[in-house]
C-alpha cells in the first residue's frame, strides 16, 4: 500500500510539473501520461493545451496520444465545470470560451457570470483605493519639495534665488491643490463602490461557496 501511495504521489507530481509549461522536454514527452495531462489541463483552466504539447513532443520525435488526452480532458471538464469553480475562476479573472458537459453547463454559466460581476465590482473598488494611495504619495512628495524650497529660500542670498524659490513654491502649491481636488473625488467614489460589492455579496451570498 505504501508503494502504491508513493507511486500515486509521484504520478501527480509529474503531471503538475508537466502542466506548468507548454514546452515539454524529451524526457517529459517520453514519460507523459496523456490522459492525466488532459485531465489536469481541463481541471485547471478548461482549455486544451494538446496542440502545443503535441507540437513540442513532435519536435523531439515523440508522438502524442490524442485519444488519451481527449478522454482525460473530458473527465477533467466535469471537475472544472463545477459551479463553485466557475465562480472562483471568473472572480480571479479567468477567461473561458469553451463548453461544459450539458448537465453542468447552465449552472456553470450562472456561476461564471456572477464571478465576472464580482470581479468587475472588486476591481473598481481596488482601483479607487490604489488611486487614493498614489495621490497621497504624490501629495507627500510635493510637501517634501515645498519644504526643501522653503529651506532654500531662507538661505538664499540674492533676489534672483529668492524669486526662483518663491515661484517654485507657488507652482508646487498649485499642484498640491489639484492633487487634493483629485483626492476628494477619488475618496468620494469609495462608498458607492463598496456598496456595490456589499450588494453583490448580499445578493449572491454563499450560493457558489464562500468568498
Tens-place pLDDT, residues 58-77: 999 999 999 999 999 999 99
Q: Give the span between the Cα atoms of 136 and 179, in whole angstroms.
A: 8
The mean of the pLDDT values for the chain is 91
Handedness of CA 190, 191, 197, 198 (dihedral sign): positive
Tens-place pLDDT, residues 44-61: 999 999 999 999 999 999
Q: Please report, for the chain, the start and end positions of each structural domain, with discontinuous segments joined by +.
A: 2-80, 108-204
Handedness of CA 112, 118, 124, 126 (dihedral sign): negative
Global pTM reads 0.76
Q: Give the span between the Cα atoms of 144 and 160, in whole angstroms.
A: 22
Which fold is adopted by the domain 108-204? Helix Hairpins (1.10.287)
Amino acid at each position: 500500500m505504501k508503494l502504491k501511495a508513493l507511486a500515486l504521489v509521484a504520478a501527480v507530481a509529474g503531471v503538475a510539473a508537466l502542466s506548468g509549461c507548454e514546452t515539454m522536454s524529451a524526457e517529459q514527452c517520453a514519460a507523459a501520461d496523456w490522459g492525466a495531462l488532459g485531465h489536469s489541463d481541463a481541471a485547471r483552466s478548461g482549455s486544451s493545451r494538446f496542440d502545443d504539447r503535441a507540437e513540442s513532443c513532435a519536435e523531439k520525435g515523440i508522438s502524442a496520444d490524442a485519444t488519451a488526452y481527449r478522454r482525460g480532458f473530458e473527465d477533467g471538464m466535469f471537475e472544472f465545470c463545477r459551479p463553485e469553480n466557475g465562480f472562483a475562476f471568473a472572480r480571479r479573472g479567468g477567461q473561458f470560451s469553451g463548453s461544459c458537459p450539458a448537465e453542468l453547463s447552465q449552472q456553470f454559466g450562472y456561476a461564471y457570470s456572477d464571478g465576472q460581476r464580482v470581479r468587475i465590482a472588486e476591481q473598481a473598488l481596488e482601483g479607487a483605493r490604489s488611486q487614493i494611495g498614489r495621490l497621497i504619495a504624490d501629495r507627500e512628495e510635493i510637501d517634501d519639495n515645498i519644504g526643501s524650497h522653503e529651506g532654500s529660500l531662507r538661505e538664499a542670498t540674492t533676489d534672483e534665488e529668492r524669486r526662483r524659490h518663491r515661484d517654485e513654491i507657488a507652482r508646487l502649491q498649485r499642484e498640491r491643490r489639484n492633487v487634493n481636488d483629485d483626492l476628494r473625488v477619488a475618496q468620494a467614489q469609495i462608498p458607492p463602490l463598496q456598496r456595490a460589492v456589499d450588494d453583490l455579496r448580499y445578493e449572491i451570498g454563499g450560493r457558489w461557496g464562500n468568498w
